[in-house]
Structure 1
Amino acid sequence: MGLLRSEPMKHGTLVVPVDRAREFIDLIGRNTKMQFEDMNARDMHRPYKKYIQRIDEMERIIRFLEEELTKVPGASPVRHNVDAFLDHSDEYKLDDVESKLHKMHKEFIQFKENNGKLLERRNAALEERYVVQTAMASMAHVASSRSVRSPEDWEAPSTAQVEDQEKLLKAHEHFVKSEAASLLEPVDRNRDSLIEEWRLFCIKEKSIYATLNLFEGNMNLRASCWYPEEDEDRIRAMCIQNSSSQHGHSSAMLVPDKIPPRKSPPTYIRVNEFTAIFQVLVDTYGLPRYQEANPALFTIVTFPFLFGVMYGDIGHGLMLLSVGLYAVWKSDELKFSFPVMHEGRYILLMMGIFAVYAGFLYNDFFSIGLSLFESRWTQPAISPEKKPGSVVAMQPTFDHENRGGPGPYPFGLDPAWHGAQNELVFLNSMKMKLAVVLGVTQMLVGLFLRFSNAMYEKNKVDFACECVPMMIFMISFFGFMDYMILYKWVTPMANPPSIINSMIAMAMWSEDSNPMFGHILPQILMAVCMLAVPWMLIPKPIILNRRHQADIQPFQRSCLLALKLPGGHMSLDEESLLSEEEEEEEFDLMECVIHQVIETIEYVLGTVSHTASYLRLWALSLAHQQLSLVFFGMTMLGGMSAPFPLNIFTTYFAFGSWFGITVGVLLGMDVMECFLHTLRLHWVEFQSKFYKADGYAFVPFCHRDILHKKTDE
């Protein structure tokens, strides 16, 4: 299914024998992805809470040991080898790890107590020696008498006590370091420290018993679960393979539901390192509902492309691209030192690539035009009669009338436009129209995805009463506007019409003074647009109300007839269906009408405001180009314009100023600004055309996912 739609899910019941429950749940966490429902939510029965309490105490001891290890100079545990731990996690057993932790905890507590006592004795011996040394002078005259011990005699025992206590402290310190080394030393090559593997083991075991608390039953435990449809055979094979005859009836089995559950399945979208960040951007707005068209598939291309349209500059794009390449190259190092850059490394790379591409389209390199090809404009000879400073009209050397002569500039903007007096007017017109064309194109893609949702769900009402009139409205007005823009670009005209005036005349039902395609076609298209509005508004509530009445009445009559007959009764299935139908009776026609009115108004007005919103592509591009031009002119040009040889030094310092401003403003603030505006265009203008975003995530029980999440935290 890929990124376009979420994985097909199935609902069933997993049954495991109570004597091997932990073993099977461990296997499931290793090899499959299953999401379990809480079967004890009502009575809050948690049969395995004692195991969790034991593990909580073990985790407390591990935190205590880690805190003690921080006091050892140079102590640093080896972490982040989760996959290696999972390959060898069977080496650890709960009882063994628990006993070792309790023993080590007791030893460290004794270490701390003994260390405190030794420090007190050492300090007392130092104090005694200091007192003796202080009293030596005053007792010197007494030392001459044989009946009184000399000060040297008093100093010698105190000195011996200090040395003894120092030896004991050093021995204690050596013992603590040796114990710390055993905890910090990697268990094996490419594996974590022992204390870190103990920590991971506790997390894994705690998740196993927390999952078992969701099961109900005595001899056999059972729980409802969701799982990917393509994993069903693998889950069954795993249950059969681990249900050997030596265990008697201790076997597990997966029983799929015969009737699909009423609850919508969770959304599970498989991602990889490249697509994950784009899925995060979509999920931040809202998770796709089950098997709804996923915007992330298109965001992979459209997001960096629209960013590049705003940010387009060859030089700045290369700087951003270098950051993305560095982040990809150093991804393993950045994963824990700079996790934000590690997570967004591929989107930085793509944004840099498209920024460079758009920079070539604009022919803009740090606000300087590049002559990659020969210009298709030439300056005519200036006659002596021309006054200095007068406007000189450039002459085209290409066939601007499309009569089969030489073509225009091969790629991007002709460098002749850079520095021209009408440069800003031309660029504004070009970028504004380009923004509108790109915006309407992306919104049309959103409508096509709305069609795909209706077709995939086999929802004929949405297809006929929403998708079709929405597409007609969009194409008849805004599609026609884009067609006029493109037609005007490629068709030479002696008196080119104003597209803005043409659209105003079309919307106001007035006569265009200079029409591009006559007067009848715009009026027909405007009439079609107006007819599409009631088409969106009226039929759907009527059809839904009639369908509801037609579906519910026959079933109610059959149920009432069964109850009226002598000894009449309903089966459990009939009762459940009746309760479902009673819930469906909550359909409110007035509420449906109000909802449809809001949907119609939002779409009709939204197409206008959203099209105007895409003009930010032009505005941000203009702002970036003008900022780049101002910064370059105020720094580099000023430094280079100084007289020789002073310009050598001024250019050096000017480059430093220019580079600092460029990094701080254009690579910092402007990247963030363009990023946020691109995000807005995707969340609002694009996704509102088809995206409900009311799904809930598939959160499977998976050791690797749980441990990686805890490690990242």
Structure 2
Amino acid sequence: MRWRTPVYWRSRPLSWTPTRFVAGVIGRERIPTFERMLWRVCRGNVFLRQADIEDPLEDPTTGDHVNKSVFIIFFQGDQLKNRVKKICEGFRATLYPCPETPQERKEMLAGVNARIDDLQMVLNQTEDHRQRVLQAAAKTVRVWFIKVRKMKAIYHTLNLCNIDVTQKCLIAEVWCPVSDLDSIQFALRRGTEKSGSTVPSILHRMQTKQTPPTYNKTNKFTTGFQNIVDAYGIGTYREMNPAPYTIITFPFLFAVMFGDLGHGLLMTFAAIYLVVREKRLMAQKNDNEIFNMMFSGRYIILLMGIFSIYTGIIYNDCFSKSLNVFGSGWSVRPMFNPRVGGNWTADTLTGNTALQLDPAVNGVFNGPYPIGIDPIWNIAVNKLTFLNSFKMKMSVILGVIHMVFGVSLSLFNHLYFQKPLNIYLGFIPEIIFLCSLFGYLIVLIFYKWVAYDATMSKDAPSILITFINMFLFNYSDPTVKPLYKGQMILQSFLVILALACVPCMLIVKTLVLRRQYLWRKNLGAQNFGGITVSNGPTEDEAEIIQHDQLSQNAEEEPERCLLSPAFKAQEEEEFNFADMAVHQAIHTIEYCLGCISNTASYLRLWALSLAHAQLSEVLWTMVMHIGLSNRSIGGFVGVTIIFFFFAVLTIAILLIMEGLSAFLHALRLHWVEFQNKFYTGQGFKFLPFTFEGILTGKPED
């Protein structure tokens, strides 16, 4: 048996080495990689302990919120310490010093807490101070904003001025209203006194050949109507402004197409709300473009609603229903029934769906309704036929009157600009042409209304056929009876007179302009600024006479001299007969054909009025009539629900859509049919220097 010999060995001597540690903060997503790297590099000779920080911390570099974890690493020896620190630096960990003894750690913790408290107190005081500064600045930021904008605008305007030769004062050339010259002089004097300057400001009125800008003084009521005119074109300087007349004609023509008492009341109430609360609504500064557009035209909407109430009373139309206030002028009691040879009975009235009321029978028609259309027409079968004839003739009458008024306004332009040739060979032929044809048409309409009563209405000739035969000189048709004696002679004379006006506008005016140019060119008998110069003076003497007269007129009436023909004669271009003939031919053809097309264009008053009335009636029949047909308790609930849809459709379709359509058509009637008779709109707007426009952010040119 073999015995095993025991082995005796001696262990190595051990020395005690103090344990060290490192503490810091690292990103939470780097913890697994950081721990793996420590284990491999240090070969498992380190001990890592970590805990997540609940609240996210703010990165001082980027300002983003990040999630971090706090860690502590225990190790022995300086070699491991260096490795651990390098690994921490590689992973961008933040290390913090931490004492080894508990007493030192307590002292350090107390110091850190004291510093945190001090910093928090400083932050709180800084925040309070910042709030006080901001609150104080908020009270004056509006004033600062106004001052900065005003100073910027003032210096920008001063940069546009010229410096005189002495380099001591500025020279500004500006346009200003003549009525504000005294106010401007007073403001300059007051500014000189407040600034303490010893040199007074001098205001000198200059003479210039440039065309001044157009300035139309408006207020909050007339601004909307002036914007309608300016949208067509800015008027030439001192040209007749159609805005004052548009204040009445625009809402009236709109109301002719939108005539309904109920819809007019709704539109008026909406406009009154905007007018009453205009200051509060202006202070709110709503950014809704549609609301701002309606708010800017609140006074236009108000007048449109008031005129719609008036025309609704004339049409006797309120939500497609007629109001029987004074009692109908028609009576069915004495009506003779030829079938039974006697008067109608109650059975006759209840047994027939349609009966004819003959106004020629005594007692059936007791006279016209006191105001507007008789309410019995609302239940008449031939209601549409009657309203067709009435509204069509009314549209022609209103259209011709509107056009005659537009042509008449051109006379004031010719008188002001001292253009007698345009009066004799422009205005007079135009007004004669228009009145001879379409003015005569209005006379025929009124004559037929007055001359033919109920007993003679069947024999009344058609005005349309009569008007067509007037142009064709056709008076041999036996089916067309004359309206009055001497009709053929008068109508032939009017047509010949109208045709004679065409050559005056087309040829005579061009020849006269050419003759005047030849007189000026050859120094013939010509009016130079009010002085008649004969063939005697030479060309130099004529220029001296002309210059002296212009200087005298400039001193007496400086504004008129800016636009007088004598001033323009100095820069008159070569007269081109062909161009002038073509231009005059275009103008003549446009006017003559325009009278016909414009008169037909006014029939839109008739068409849109009927369309609005029929659409309102359809809406009532298809929506409201359904609920009113049921008289039970369920019908009451149904009426309530149906009325909601009726109100929504009335506002959406009849008020908004139909109102916008009538507005656009009224706008076209003013731009094309009315303003083109006298308004050129080829000027540019006067934009004064105002702080109000600058502070509100409006663009200033």
Normalised by the shorter chain, which TM-score bucket? 0.7 to 0.9
Q: Which residue does 1:59 correspond to in 2?
A: none
Letter paired with 2:481: N
Please state whether the residue corresponding to 1:418 is helix, strand or coil. Answer: helix
Q: Tell me the equivalent position of 1:392.
A: 355
| One-letter identity of the residue aligned with 1:393 | Q
Q: Give the residue type in structure 1 aligned to 2:312.
A: G
Letter in 2 for 1:644: S
Instruction: Assess, with a 3 A threshold, how the Cα gap between structure 1 residues 580 and 432 changes in structure 2: closer, same or farther.
Output: closer
How far apart, CA to CA, are the structure 1 residues paired with 2:654 and 2:617? Answer: 11
- Is 1:382 the counterpart of 2:350? The answer is no
Deviations 1:300-340 (A, max 9, x none): 00111111111111111111001100000110122222533
Change (3 A) 1:648 1:510: same
Q: Structure 1 pair 123/434, CA: closer, same or farther in 2 (3 Å)?
A: closer
Partner Cα separation in structure 2 for residue 578 and residue 498 of structure 1: 54
Confirm or deny: 8 A CA contact 2:331 2:363 kept in the other structure: no
Distance 1:153 1:127, change over 3 A: farther
Spell out the pairing of 1:7-46 with structure 2 (5 A cutoff): none
Unaligned runs of 5+ in 1: 1-116, 136-145, 186-193, 563-569
Match of 2:488 in 1: 519
The residue that corresponds to 2:60 in the other structure is 120
CA offsets, 1:188-210, max 9 Å, x none? xxxxxx21222221221122122
Deviation of 1:252 (Å): 1.4
**SS of the residue 1:538 aligns to:** helix
Amino acid at match of 2:235: P
Q: Deviation per CA, 1:79-124, whole angstroms, max 9, x where unpaired?
A: xxxxxxxxxxxxxxxxxxxxxxxxxxxxxxxxxxxxxx99839999
Alignment of 1:26-175 (within 5 A): 120=60, 131=70, 169-175=123-129
Alignment match, 1:221: 170
Aligned-pair distance for 1:637?
A: 0.5
**How far does residue 669 in structure 1 lie from its aligned partner after superposition?**
0.9
Q: What CA deviation, in whole Å up to 9, does each residue of 1:270-310 have, x standing for no partner? A: 11111111001000111111111111010000111111111
Of the structure 1 ranges 514-523 and 418-427, higher mean CA displacement relative to structure 2 is found in 514-523
Contact 1:288 1:693 in 2 (8 A): yes
- State the match for 1:266 in structure 2: 213
2:319 is matched by which residue type in structure 1?
Answer: F
Query: Is 1:210 the counterpart of 2:156 in the alignment?
Result: yes
Partner of residue 698 from structure 1, selected from 657, 662, 686: 686
Where in structure 2 are the equivalents of 1:249-328 lying within 5 Å?
250-257=199-206, 260-328=207-275
Distance 1:294 1:154, change over 3 A: same
Letter of the aligned partner of 2:395 in structure 1? A
Residue 356 of structure 1 is aligned with which of 299, 309, 315? 309
Return the alpha-carbon distance in structure 2 between the equivalents of residues 409 and 522 of structure 1.
35
1:367-415: CA deviation from partner (whole Å, max 9, x where unpaired): 01100111001224535679944531125599999xxx96411100100
**1:304–1:351: 8 Å Cα contact kept in structure 2?**
yes
Give the percent of matched residue pairs that are identical in Structure 1 and Structure 2: 36
Structure 2 gap ranges (5+): 1-56, 75-99, 336-342, 542-546, 552-564
Task: State the distance in 1 between where 2:210 and 2:66 align.
Answer: 76
Q: Partner residue of 1:490?
A: 450
Alignment match, 1:344: 297
Query: Aligned AA for 2:147?
Result: F
In the superposition, the TM-score normalised over structure 1's length comes to 0.72
CA distance in 2, matches of 1:698, 1:605: 35
Largest Rg, 1 or 2: 2
In the alignment, structure 1 residue 640 sits paired with structure 2 residue 600: no
Q: Structure 1 508/543 Cα, relative in aligned 2: closer, same or farther at 3 Å? A: same
Q: What is the aligned partner in structure 1 of residue 27 from structure 2?
A: none
**Structure with greater helix percent:** 1
How far is 1:516 from its partner? 1.6
Aligned to 1:443: 403
- List aligned pairs for 1:219-618, cutoff 5 A: 219-240=168-189, 243=192, 250-257=199-206, 260-335=207-282, 336-337=285-286, 338-379=291-332, 380=335, 382=344, 388-389=351-352, 391-396=354-359, 407-493=367-453, 494=456, 495-511=459-475, 513-517=480-484, 518-554=487-523, 583-618=571-606
The one-letter code matched in structure 1 to 2:356 is A
1:147 Cα deviation (Å)? 5.4
* Secondary structure of 1:131's aligned partner: strand
Partner SS, residue 227 of structure 1: coil
CA contact (8 A) 1:122 1:162 kept: no
User: How far apart are the structure 1 equivalents of 2:309 and 2:276?
Assistant: 20
Structure of greater relative contact order (alpha carbons < 8 Å, 6+ residues apart):
1
Whole-Å Cα distance in 1 between the matches of residues 228 and 64 of structure 2?
64
Distance 1:689 1:492 in 2: 35
Q: CA RMSD in A?
A: 3.9
Q: Which residue of 2 aligns with 1:685?
A: 673
**What is the alpha-carbon distance in structure 2 between the residues aligned to residue 485 and residue 125 of structure 1?**
86
Partners of 2:61 and 2:573 in 1: CA distance: 84
Mapped contact 2:209–2:567 kept (Cα < 8 A): no
Report Cα offsets for 1:573-611 as digits up to 9, x if no partner. Answer: 99xx99975741333221111110000010000011111
Deviation at 1:547, TM superposition (A): 1.8
TM-score (structure 2 length as normaliser): 0.73
Q: Deviations over 1:124-156 (max 9, x none)?
A: 99967x637999xxxxxxxxxx95689999988
Report the counterpart of residue 652 of structure 2 in structure 1. Answer: 664
